Amino acid sequence: MLSKAAIKRRLLPNSSRAYLRRYNEDFARETAPGMRVLDAGAGDQPYRAFFADCTYESADFEQVDKPYAKSTYVCDLCDIPVEDGRFDRVVFNQVLEHLPDPLAALRELGRTLKPGGKMICTCPLFYEEHEEPYDFYRYTQFAHRHMFEKAGFEIDRLEWMEGYFGTVAYQFQGMASALPVSPRPYLRRPWWPALAWPLVVAVKGAALLLAGLFYRLDTACKVTSAGYPKNYVVIARKRGGEATA
């Protein structure tokens, strides 16, 4: 018997998860064995296995009510208890939006990196509030560039993580879960919302099917020529050194 979560994964194969894996796997492939890697805001450390040949360390403040893997450093990302230039690589997924002072955290991550050391950062532009109350911002591509450059990084790549089909799929998924189907809110003055109610119910059902279709489309073909992304991905290098292989 399939679990509820497994059924949901089959119905709605979230393309963001596929792209997160792909980008982190590629970043790990370009990380030489033996390098020291910091997973910053690691949570349950979903990408740890990609860095099995490296010296993997993690930092997280562990303040959210959710399961955590054991962190090497339990700390705020603005104050990581390690020496300057300890790490060759920083992995920084889905964390920047949770930091009240993002520039201070980027400068601190830069301090812990060797000159020329690299970071992968993924961060949402379009995503619901989560991990409350530690959810502060959403960032455009221009905000990413501004902050990384101000914090002492050069940007090697800054691009959409998913394509627009992924953003559309996420919107359909939101409609499928949040559109109200109880008739109560519709039965009031003015009278016409009562007529719209069956339409909303039908749209909710259709949205679930369309979310599944668009997630699959996004994994099969990443369209970035129109619309907007759900997440950006940045590959950045600390200034002041040759890039390390």
Q: Where does this chain bind ligand SAM (CB under 6 A)? A: 41-43, 46, 60-64, 76-77, 93-95, 98-99, 131, 134
Toward ligand SAM, which CB reaches closer, 9 or 239?
Answer: 9
Toward ligand SAM, which CB reaches closer, 69 or 158?
Answer: 69
Shortest distance, CB of residue 66 to ligand SAM, whole angstroms?
Answer: 7
C-alpha to C-alpha distance for 125 and 229, rounded to whole angstroms? 7
Cα torsion through 159, 163, 164, 165, rounded to 10: -170
Of all residues in this chain, which one has the CB nearest to ligand SAM in the complex?
43
Shortest distance, CB of residue 98 to ligand SAM, whole angstroms?
Answer: 4
Residue tagged 């560039």 (tokens): 145
Shortest distance, CB of residue 148 to ligand SAM, whole angstroms?
Answer: 18
Residue tagged 């502060």 (tokens): 136
83: left (phi over 0), alpha (psi -120 to 50) or beta: beta
Toward ligand SAM, which CB reaches closer, 13 or 193?
Answer: 13
Q: Is 154 within 8 Å of 236 (Cβ atoms)?
A: yes
Toward ligand SAM, which CB reaches closer, 16 or 219?
Answer: 16
Shortest distance, CB of residue 204 to ligand SAM, whole angstroms?
Answer: 27
Toward ligand SAM, which CB reaches closer, 14 or 94?
Answer: 94
Angle between helices 164-178 and 15-29 (to 10 degrees): 140
Residue tagged 């910091």 (tokens): 38
Shortest distance, CB of residue 153 to ligand SAM, whole angstroms?
Answer: 19
Token output for 224: 């970035």
Toward ligand SAM, which CB reaches closer, 72 or 116?
Answer: 72
C-alpha to C-alpha distance for 92 and 80, rounded to whole angstroms? 14
Shortest distance, CB of residue 62 to ligand SAM, whole angstroms?
Answer: 6
- Of residues 95, 97, 96, the one with CA closest to residue 136: 97
Residue 162, helix vs strand vs coil: coil
